[in-house]
Structure 1
């Protein structure tokens, strides 16, 4: 008799009335396929690890005879009703067993929590335990957002044969790349996440959410203080022991970071995967990389990218899409409809979803050139000019506004106050005669002169509406410091960069704007202009930049544009 032919009697306790009412309300609000049955729960199951540690898990089972295809979620954020209601119950009510496990050192699980380094081994040991459960039918999917997505990639480093599908929301495979985006420390994101993890079990789920929502404002005074060494202690409470290690090793080529990467899993996986990202999410570029690599290797991969930031992911969309993907790859009786398109993206500006056969789609380049007095024109410059100057002072750093941060103020924001600062320069087109739809990564070429070899340049694409409100679309910061072994030298350089992919329509009457500055603090750790180690430096040296926009230095912006009516 096969695993699928076995009959396993129902076990576990029924859900509380409150949980049942909440689940029905979510089903209606999220427009989910009808539930196929009730749900029961086995709480606080012990899952042994090879080193003797015991991890805790709650198991949500369909109230029908098993065994069942099973979904595994491994999380550092607890197993409480809030998480279960969003991530477990919608699937258990539709025929799946769902295992919600607290990773090592969190919420009753034994051992010590050390971000991501134990997840590959502990994931494998969890699958060994799953094989012994009579309600498991031998078919496994993994699911979850953020850190829960990393645990999926960690398991996929050596995928068990039972693994049939992965559903990954806004998640990284490389924590080092996430923390050191383009070689620059993501100071705000790392600080907020560290503060969350260090305090979440002390304050409870409700106060923990309030703490997360207020973190950007609450931590701001500490993030302005130098040196950065000892920063986690200044947050109060029990400091996260790994944070000072991260500060000490703030260089992406440091071998220290190897244990924080599951990149080989992306490069070797053959497991069907649904990737869900957000245009304003911290991990957007890793989601796009995962899609491109899996697609190029012939893996059955689908991708959805919405308008979201990390904390504003739409659980209704992710749940509907997760159920549709699993309906094909981990089918259950009475499953809802399967997914119909490979790529599903939200076009901001147009405020609409679009189905595409691939990403990025076919486009045509359109180029504008930076011009004197803050212009952005179709015509390349034909005469010499003085350029545009600005000075960045690391002791009064240009602030970050919106963007891909782990904070309440993330995403698309009004940039008016930022652009009024003397250390920010903007270049803007005339009002558009017709819509321009950007699909992909905008390319920027800057002819830049700097009087300090240790400097950053922050480049942001904005949409300016008919009332003059400037809202960010996509951006990137580039560290211009000398490479290892290179002698420091100020002077002229050409900076070529590609902004993170996006899908955005600039409406007729709107204007395209390129915003340029020397930093975005505290989103990025400021470049102090001295070349000293990031954690130990205590003083700053300003830098003055010159942006060229003449016949010898034709700085430009190029957008990959979709044909009108496409």
Structure 2
């Protein structure tokens, strides 16, 4: 392991034993390259020249730290440097997780240069100036400033952004406990308004000035290099991981397990031993296949939480278009409706009419419900499941509902109630609807994202329909003002009509177990 500087950026280099030239792996991170030295050694042991770099302005790298601003240019410079080295055969795999996944993708997608990686390989690529990596491995990708700040539906993600910015935002190092410590000293921090001035950080207002990059998906569709997208069904960026895989123009593989943001290091309660994979070994094998040009098409594997099974990922199941035309297909999408207000579907417990009060919002960090006093949500519960239920695909809730105010967020939380009384979250969806005056009665669809679960017999489904999901998401003020700059919050009366409202779940017809490693490598 030796250290060099590339344009003032601190860089570690770990070369394999034996004569080169070698393919290379590039990992650029704001989380301290030294934490990845064991990972670099593991890549080198498998025959790759491994390069780890602190991004600009972080840890030992020079310059100003401006999140998401410099990664395309700095990443391209690192790729050019690698390809100019004698030990390089010109082929580079960019890898990274979370923000580092953005770093891996930025040289390829930020400027729309989504073609092949190196500019020719007639001489082995040595000295060639590449437009991007030759293959990309991204895990739990935090794709851009607008993408991490808001849901695809426009609703602001609050506590996760506050935590990240306090830990990493206006500083050269990291403090992973910054949010917890700040909340101990200032318990009402996340309640403070306006949101744009909540944190005393110079870069915090810029988080909310960013808008989602809708052109990202068109650039991804133009990509021709192989992609491996890895995510967790409990990760906040699961939808982005799936969409990246679904949109990618080149060979694409998806691996989605019952994990959190730390993947196998943070397994979900529904994970089983069969879901614990050796990701390092899988990444190296996939990189070899990708650089050899043996991969084609779009494939993937999804771990079915609550069982020992992995299932093949199908883009039609994950919301990319029409379902399979063959109703007996293993991947046939079968959205089964659980209708509101029906004993065989979802029985109304209380709150067909309720008040969404931003001063007393429904909490994202609690599953208990106070059934006394005025209802703050519409609450429905289904009967015990008579047999195990396998869910695989995109779920949603269709509402016929009324909201008071010029803007309203609709939050739907799906919870599993076990026979022993334990409550376990299954999915949460949030969508924003706006109008000139009172929103009146509308037909609304709230997406719940991808479900990959086996529910045991005896479990009951609970559905909560609310107006807030705080502090995971910022509170809608119901005035029509931007929730980021608003300082005035008003209550909003809501009504959910049972007729026409339903939970739609992607019930699978059969469970065909696969080997996830074989599925990713073929």
TM-score (norm 2): 0.82
Partner of 1:533: 482
Alignment-derived partner of residue 268 in structure 1: 222
Cα separation, partners in 2 of 1:300 and 1:365, compared to 1, 3 Å = same
Q: Which has the higher helix share?
A: 1
The alignment of Structure 1 onto Structure 2 pairs a total of residues equal to 468
Note if contact 1:327-1:338 (Cα within 8 Å) is conserved in structure 2: no
How far off its partner does 1:277 sit? 0.7
User: Residue 448 of structure 1 aligns with which residue?
Assistant: 401
- The CA deviation at 1:132 is 2.3
Q: Which residue of 1 aligns with 2:259?
A: 308
Is 2:144 the partner of 1:168? Answer: no
| 1:415-454 matches, cutoff 5 A | 415-417=367-369, 422-454=375-407
Deviation at 1:289, TM superposition (A): 0.8
| 1:515 paired to 2:467 | no
Post-superposition Cα deviations, 1:198-254, rounded to whole Å, max 9, x if no partner, equal 37645x6xxx34446767767752111122232221xxxxx2x3211333x37x4xx
Q: 1:187 to 1:380 in 2, by over 3 A?
A: closer
Establish whether residue 145 from structure 1 lines up as the match of residue 97 from structure 2.
Answer: yes
Relative distance call for 1:108 and 1:339 in structure 2 (3 A) is same
Tell me which residue corresponds to 1:61.
15
Deviation at 1:293, TM superposition (A): 1.4
Specify the SS of the correspondent of 1:83: helix
Alpha-carbon displacement from aligned partner over 1:313-342 (angstroms, at most 9, x marks no partner): 5495432321221131236xxxxx999993
Distance (Å, rounded) in 2 between the aligned partners of 1:450 and 1:219: 33
Q: Which residue of 2 aligns with 1:397?
A: 361
Q: How do 1:226-241 and structure 2 match up within 5 A?
A: 226-233=193-200, 239=201, 241=202
- The alpha carbon displacement at 1:419 in A equals 7.9
**Counterpart of 1:377?**
344
The offset of 1:352, in angstroms, is 3.6
Q: Give the structure 2 partner of residue 193 of structure 1.
A: 164
1:122–1:221 distance in 2 versus 1, CA, 3 Å:
same
Aligned residue number for residue 556 of structure 1: 502
Distance 1:496 1:565 in 2: 28
Shift of 1:376: 5.6
* d(CA) in 2 for partners of 1:318, 1:340: 21
Give, in whole Å, the separation in 1 of the partners of 2:346 and 2:407. Answer: 33
Does structure 2 conserve the Cα–Cα contact (< 8 Å) formed by 1:321 and 1:339? Answer: no
Using the TM superposition, name which of 211-220 and 350-359 deviates more: 211-220
Separation in structure 1 between the aligned mates of residue 504 and residue 36 of structure 2, nearest angstrom? 42
8 Å contact kept, 2:72–2:103: yes
Report what 2:207 is aligned to: 246
1:545 is aligned to 2:494: yes
Instruction: After TM superposition, give the deviation of residue 387 of structure 1 in Å.
Output: 7.5
In 2, Cα distance between equivalents of 1:105 and 1:308:
31
Question: Is 1:319 matched up with 2:280?
Answer: yes
**8 A Cα contact 1:418 1:424, kept in partner:** no
Distance 1:563 1:113 in 2: 50
Partner-residue secondary structure (3-state), 1:501: strand
Contact 2:195 2:485 in 1 (8 A): yes
Q: C-alpha distance in 1, partners of 2:371/2:28? A: 42
Q: Distance in 2 between matches of 1:456 and 1:175?
A: 22
Rate the CA distance shift 1:536–1:465 in 2: closer, same or farther, 3 A.
same
- Cα distance in 2 for partners of 1:471, 1:546 equals 26
Aligned match of 1:74: 28
TM-score by length of 1: 0.76
**Equivalent pair of 1:325/1:339 in contact (CA under 8 Å):** no
Residue 535 to residue 460, structure 1, CA distance change in 2 (3 Å): closer
Q: Deviations over 1:354-399 (max 9, x none)?
A: 345656232322111111xxx6634999xxxx97111111112221
State whether residues 448 and 492 of structure 1, in contact with CA within 8 Å, keep that contact through their aligned partners in structure 2: yes
Other structure's SS at 2:165 match: helix
Match for residue 47 of structure 1? Answer: 6
Cα contact 2:145–2:207 (8 A) shared by 1: no
Call closer, same or farther: CA 1:330–1:565 in 2, change over 3 Å. closer
Cα separation, partners in 2 of 1:565 and 1:324, compared to 1, 3 Å: same
**Which of 62, 74, 83 does residue 122 from structure 1 map onto?**
74
1:479 aligns with 2:432: yes
Deviation at residue 153 of structure 1 after TM alignment: 1.7
The root-mean-square deviation of aligned C-alpha atoms, in Å, is: 3.1
Q: How far does the alpha carbon of each residue in 1:492-513 deviate from its partner, in whole angstroms, 9 at most, with x for none?
A: 1111122111201121111122
Q: Are 2:414 and 2:463, in contact at CA under 8 Å, matched by a contact in 1?
A: yes
Contact persistence 1:416–1:469 (CA under 8 A): no
Measured in 2, the distance between the counterparts of 1:148 and 1:196 equals 15
Mark the CA change 1:271 to 1:522 in structure 2 (over 3 Å): closer, same or farther: same
Of the candidates 311, 316, 319, which is equivalent to residue 354 of structure 1? Answer: 311
